[in-house]
Structure 1
Amino acid sequence: MGCNVEELLGERAENLLAFNSPKISKDLLHLPGPDFVDRVYALSNRNNRVLGNLAWLFNHGRLGGTGYLSILPVDQGIEHAGGASFAKNPIYFDPENIIKLAMEGGCNGVASTFGVLGVMSRKYAHKIPFIVKINHNELLTVPNRYNQILYGTVEQAYDMGAAAVGATIYFGSEESDTQIIEIAEAFARAHELGMVTILWCYLRNSAFKKDKDYHAAADLTGQANHLGVTIQADIIKQKLPKTNGGYKALNMGDSSYGKFDERIYSELASDHPIDLCRYQVANCYMGRAGLINSGGASAENDFVEAAVTAVINKRAGGSGLISGRKAFQRPMEEGAKLLNTIQDVYLDSTVTIA
């Protein structure tokens, strides 16, 4: 193995690696494995071309054939502004370097914009699965809005040879109704054309910030996942849960928000991070749609945090990680090493499902 997972986790190793009392039993889950496409996706209404692209995605890169995914997403040039994203490492203004990093890092696929992938499609679309992110935020309007705008068509992604399309819905935002309708239609068309669908299931609403920030609450993100699989996303991208009790906090006082059951917090999840993530997996039809958690912003202890996130996701029954800024905001060799560190967790047979 490329890294010692237990050593990398340090003082958090025992809490994460020895946890074996999840509220939701692993026996109820459809767990990742080499036969995941045949065992799970092949039972669905996805056509043979979608199954073929799912098989390509799951069988590519260092994690090929394991049932796990390691994806490099670089759409931050729009989502977080090009200068803010690439100032640390200006080589990534050039789209070819984004694709090279995904290949050097042994990723299953690379996710980026129409522009980034389109400008290099002739050279690389047949070498690594392309995931075209079809909608994005727009950061020049004052004040900024919680919106996602379609930047092209599903047909354009198909024409460049993409294996998959990705999209974001800001669940909870004023614009979410429009986004749900647009992306449900786009995903239906993508499936018709044989492409995989991946949904960034994010929450955006200032009301989610109370005594703490519930944008990363397991119950609210879990429901976002449940909405995502409802519009037939094959794979769900979600932030790792940091807390729980979002529904309860938003129902305090005279307000009435959503619906919840106390058993969510007592019988379906504990405060342990693996339990919180497992609740997200449960909301992905008990794992029938793969859950990939995001890596988050870059910081000083990126290698440790990447390993922690990977261990939580894997032990919870998730399907992998989608990590961008931690990788591309450093020299390419280091970025590839970080991606390999993530992959090493999924390749390590001693890191088991809780």
Structure 2
Amino acid sequence: MTAGLDARLNRIRTGDRYLMVPMDHGITLGAVRGLKDIESTIDAVTRGGADAVLTQKGIAPRVHSNTNGAGYVVHLNASTTLGPDENDKRLTGTVEEAVRAGADAVSFHINVGSDHEPDQLAQLAEVTADAERLGIPVLAMAYARGPGLAGDEPDALGHAVRLAEEVGADLVKTGYSGDADSFEHVVESTRLPVLIAGGTPGTDRETLEGVRGAVDAGAAGVSMGRSIFQHEDPEAITQAVAAVIHEDQDVEQALEAAGLTVEA
């Protein structure tokens, strides 16, 4: 690991744990709740303890003055819910453009098992090569999505995270298998730090139970979007997630500390 790579990883984590809030959903979903005034949302989640936020490159001017010292990740591909195939993620930027936008790291989405896997695999390899040359960390968002895949099957998730390591990523995000016992296989499938996605928003308790289970299985943290940025109180739910990830609190302790004892 180069000094630059290690320094940039330290900007998007606390110790060896990660709490990242992706807010690149404006391309995929449009200007949904939490993203219209993205400046206020970024301020809230970073005050709540997020280590880093993530957007597409064009949102960078709205990011930097609101991060409260947290790190910044630029996402490099996307699709929309209005298009013919949401799994068909296309390039939206380069590593060099991310650096010019002030990014500490880049991320790239690959749907392992989909019809688009071959092209996305080749593109991810190109991204990791470019990033290595510049000393920029790469987060691979490696999901098990395709014909016949449920998206939470441990073997498929384990394959997806291992693919990310094989291609040269520095950390990997994937879906959660639903419980700590099955997710251990996923974590053990790679030497990379594994982060879980938030998935479809549930109750506060359900969100924190997923985070607690993943951490118990050996995950390094979360990259959680809608469950945080669309919450009634983004700062409070971020505080609760941070309490689990960074303070090793249980679900009840984290809910109480953040004032979220009543389900939202």
TM-score normalised according to structure 1 size: 0.66
* Number of the residue aligned with 1:119: 61
What is the CA deviation profile of residues 142-172 of structure 1, one whole-angstrom value per residue up to 9, with x for unaligned ones? x335211111111110112211001100111
Distance in 2 (CA, whole Å) between partners of 1:346 and 1:94 is 27
Of the three residues 15, 23, 29, the one matched with 1:74 is 23
* Number of the residue aligned with 1:96: 39
Correspondence 1:336 to 2:235: yes
Read off the aligned partner of 2:242 and give its amino acid letter: Q
Q: What are the ranges of 5 or more consecutive residues in structure 2 without an aligned counterpart?
A: 251-264
Distance in 2 (CA, whole Å) between partners of 1:198 and 1:183 is 10
Structure 1 pair 350–97 and aligned structure 2 pair: CA distance change class (3 A): closer
Please tell me whether Structure 1 or Structure 2 has the larger radius of gyration of its CA atoms: 1
Correspondence 1:346 to 2:245: yes
Q: Map of 1:102-181 to 2, 5 A cutoff?
A: 102-116=45-59, 118-120=60-62, 123=65, 127-141=69-83, 143-181=84-122
Distance in 2 (CA, whole Å) between partners of 1:122 and 1:57 is 14
SS in 2 for 1:345: helix
- Identity fraction in percent: 24
Contact 2:45 2:229 (C-alpha < 8 Å) held by counterparts: no
Structure 1 pair 350–144 and aligned structure 2 pair: CA distance change class (3 A): closer
* Number of the residue aligned with 2:198: 295
Give how far 1:73 is off.
Answer: 0.9
Give how far 1:322 is off.
Answer: 1.6
What is the CA deviation profile of residues 166-195 of structure 1, one whole-angstrom value per residue up to 9, with x for unaligned ones? 110011111111111111111221122121
* Number of the residue aligned with 2:182: 276
Distance in 2 (CA, whole Å) between partners of 1:146 and 1:349 is 35
Read off the aligned partner of 1:274 and give its amino acid letter: A
Correspondence 1:230 to 2:133: no
Give how far 1:138 is off.
Answer: 3.0
Distance in 2 (CA, whole Å) between partners of 1:122 and 1:308 is 31
Distance in 2 (CA, whole Å) between partners of 1:349 and 1:323 is 18
Q: What are the ranges of 5 or more consecutive residues in structure 1 without an aligned counterpart?
A: 1-45, 59-63, 209-213, 243-272
* Number of the residue aligned with 1:313: 214
Distance in 2 (CA, whole Å) between partners of 1:125 and 1:337 is 16
What is the CA deviation profile of residues 223-260 of structure 1, one whole-angstrom value per residue up to 9, with x for unaligned ones? 01110111111111011014xxxxxxxxxxxxxxxxxx
Contact 1:125 1:162 (C-alpha < 8 Å) held by counterparts: no
Structure 1 pair 125–47 and aligned structure 2 pair: CA distance change class (3 A): farther
Structure with the bigger RCO (C-alpha within 8 Å, sep 6+) is 1
Contact 2:47 2:68 (C-alpha < 8 Å) held by counterparts: no
Q: Map of 1:162-241 to 2, 5 A cutoff?
A: 162-208=103-149, 214-241=150-177
| Structure 1 outlier segments of 4+, above 6 Å | none
What is the CA deviation profile of residues 71-106 of structure 1, one whole-angstrom value per residue up to 9, with x for unaligned ones? 111122222x115xx1xx3x5223323421332221
Correspondence 1:55 to 2:10: yes
Contact 1:131 1:166 (C-alpha < 8 Å) held by counterparts: yes
Count of paired positions:
250
Give how far 1:124 is off.
Answer: 5.2
* Number of the residue aligned with 1:269: none
* Number of the residue aligned with 2:260: none
Distance in 1 (CA, whole Å) between partners of 2:67 and 2:245 is 26
Structure 1 pair 204–330 and aligned structure 2 pair: CA distance change class (3 A): same
TM-score normalised according to structure 2 size: 0.88
Read off the aligned partner of 1:338 and give its amino acid letter: I
